[in-house]
Amino acid sequence: MKTIFITSFHLLISRNIIATDIIPRLLAAGHRIVVVVPDYKVSYFTDRFARQDVEIVGVVASRPTRTRRGLFCKRLARLMLATESIRIREEYLMYLGKPWWYRALYYGSQAIGRTKAAPRIVRWLDRVLGPRELFGDLLDRMRPDLVFATDILNENDIALMHDARRRGIPTIGMVRSWDNLTIHSLLRIFPDELLVWSERLRREAIELDGMPAERIRVVGIPHYDQYLKGLKIPREEFFRRINADPAKPLIFFAPIGDLYIRENDVDRYAMDILAELDANVIVRFPPADRVSGLEGFVPPPHMYFDRPGVTYDPNRVGDRDLTPEDDAMLVNGIWHANLVVTGPSTIAIEAALFDKPTIIANFHRTPKTGFEGVRPYGYIHFRAILESGGVARADTADEFRAWIRRYLADPTLDREGRRRIIREQYGSDPDGKASERVADALLEHIGIRTHA
């Protein structure tokens, strides 16, 4: 029996990895699993996921950036990523009033970041300056045969991989989501093998980070396996759960949230319009963000509020975990919807997976330009959605109402574009076997010595 460490530091990993068929396949192969989580999440993970040969271990998280060297490495890796997405984000921060020295640091880092040597510089500095032995005691005590870092850009995963590498323990890393390689940072360490959702991410890892092509494996999106094979319930039953009228269409609305808009007047405006319609509406609030401007809003009887996520600390909105019940609500909400309305979110991919017409909300109650608008619509990963032909962007309230009418009248509109989204973001036609491919990759590396 071999021991495999699997990390879960980001709020989406419990859904994306831990709740999938990956762990059952590893157990079936006769191995022991240790899920490494922040110490304050141990109780929840134990109740949900612990079983025979699956142990939940808590650690103190976010220690790397509590050191000056760790914080320096993290910021430098972000500032040296020379992409349009980083440019938009950093220039927005400067627009808000970052000091002169930050501007100098950014433009200097970008000048170096455009050179071929930049990724190697970032990895070398991380290896030399990054905090050491934050996970040494854990690794020495439990002696894993493999470390699976499920979020390759997470500071905790990075520190764990460094400590594992110094002990000759093989590491497999995974890019957590579709936007990570163009908006978060350069890779600060190369795992023995990198798992990615799609060919698009594979190209980005090669072109932006210099990751050797032969050490990248396209696996698909593991948590979509269950979306394709299970979780769905009959329409009548789902409508009873949300107190909806089965004789009327259902609109699924995922608010943008406050993170991406300086003054969020989009979400309330959209909800006011949706409240006027003769249709059922599900409002699925973002699990890692707030939605402001809802003071005085009373949802009408045909509008259902879904607030997903296990909350550990009400003051840390971005630190939650999605439960299987949350995921089932998401899947059924989109599956049974006649129309999806969202912002710069993976909801656009999930809507395409179920072939649902999708409107991208980009209209404000008061006109907005430049950095005052929804910034991520200019990010590389979301431009691919907007340019796919599979969604309609509504830049005014009148356009929003018009697209609602069109899509409800003919849900086949833009179907080929939605298929294009899946081909580009999933990597192939979804086959429900992404978890199997991830597990197979882990099993192949058991007992293999790490790369230097």
Tens-digit pLDDT profile for residues 143-181: 999 999 999 999 999 999 999 999 999 999 999 999 999
Q: What does the pLDDT average to over 267-272?
A: 96
Across 413-432, average pLDDT: 90
Least confident of 79-88, 352-361, 362-371, 425-434: 425-434
Mean per-residue pLDDT, 274-292: 95
Looking at the structure, give the CATH architecture of the domain made up of residues 3-62+131-220+432-445. 3-Layer(aba) Sandwich (3.40)
Share of the chain above pLDDT 70, in %: 98
Confidence class for position 448, pLDDT limits 50, 70, 90:
low
Give this prediction's pTM: 0.94
pLDDT score recorded for residue 317: 73
The conformation of residue 83, written as its DSSP 8-state character, comes to: S
Whether the pLDDT of residue 446 is over 70: the answer is yes
- What the block records as the tokens of 269 is 């405006």
In this structure, are residues 338 and 239 in contact, taking their beta carbons and an 8 Å threshold?
A: no
* The amino acid at 307: R
* Partners of 37 in the β-ladder: 58
More confident residue, 57 or 321: 57
Can you tell me whether residue 120 is helix, strand or coil? helix
Residue 362: name the closest of 253, 263, 254, 267 by CA: 267
Take residue 152 and report the two structure tokens written for it: 């390759």
CATH class of 226-426: alpha beta
d(C-alpha 245, C-alpha 261), whole Å:
33
Label the pairing between strands 392-394 and 303-306: unpaired
Instruction: Read off the pLDDT of each residue in 396-417 and give the average, rounded to a whole number.
Output: 98
The sheet with strand 3-7 has its strands ordered as 54-59, 32-38, 3-7, 146-149, 171-174, 193-196, 216-218
Q: Are 196 and 171 contacting, i.e. CB atoms less than 8 angstroms apart?
A: no
User: Do residues 192 and 445 lie in contact, with contact meaning Cβ atoms separated by under 8 Å?
Assistant: yes
Instruction: Evaluate if residue 452 carries a pLDDT over 60.
Output: no
Domain ranges of the chain: 3-62+131-220+432-445, 66-113, 226-426
Strand partners, 321: 310
Q: Answer yes or no: is pLDDT of 427 > 70.
A: no
* Structure confidence at residue 451 (pLDDT): 52
Residues 295-306, mean pLDDT to the nearest whole number? 93
By C-alpha distance, which of 421, 356, 417, 414 is closest to 382?
A: 421
Q: Please check whether the two domains, 3-62+131-220+432-445 and 226-426, share a CATH topology.
A: yes
One-letter identity of residue 84: E
Q: Collapsing DSSP states into helix, strand and coil, what is residue 335? A: helix
